[in-house]
Amino acid sequence: MTAGARVHHFSDCVVAEALRDVLREHANVDITRNQLWLVQAPPGLSQAVWDIVCLAAVAALEYGRQRLYACRDAAGRTAEVAVVRRIGVEVIADFWSRLAAFVSLRRLPRRWDLVPNQHPFPSPFLASDDVGGVIFVGPAADSPPASP
């Protein structure tokens, strides 16, 4: 994959923009491409939490890239707009499910002792619970997925 293709798939694509919009909304701060790609926590977010958020985001974007390529026609043309939008919704769901799966491991990440209780405030990704564990702080299970 060329550098230009990476920039497109992991930053400029409608699918990548949809995920970045969700990250911005939940973090309540602007999220730059460098903060995501270089795993640099935005102001106000714990680096330990951001490490996990970035891993989940990049993995979800790779899932989306694979789905988009699988939907190309024989001539290599991109899928229809409706298909691309659906894949965007799938990528967002994949991102949240990766965070939830991480929490289900019940293992504290490295440097988690530096994360204050109920972090991140006011941005919900992951938080410390009252007994020294990690809890998922994402959209409610009954919330409809965000659409790109």
Which pLDDT does position 11 carry in this prediction?
63
Write down how long the chain is.
148
Q: pLDDT by residue for the chain (148 residues), tens digit each?
A: 565 555 555 567 888 899 999 998 888 888 888 898 889 998 888 888 888 899 999 999 999 988 988 887 777 777 788 888 899 999 999 999 999 888 887 776 666 665 555 544 434 577 666 666 676 777 764 444 444 4
Contact of 107 with 101, CB cutoff 8 Å: no
Q: Is the dihedral of CA 50, 56, 61, 62 positive or negative?
A: positive
Bridge partner residues of 135 (DSSP): 127
pTM: 0.76
Which pLDDT does position 141 carry in this prediction?
45
Task: Locate 57 and state its tokens.
Answer: 């985001």
> Tens digit of pLDDT for each residue in 4-29?
555 555 567 888 899 999 998 888 88
Contact of 85 with 147, CB cutoff 8 Å: yes
Which pLDDT does position 60 carry in this prediction?
95
The Cα–Cα gap between 77 and 97 comes to: 30
Bridge partner residues of 134 (DSSP): 128
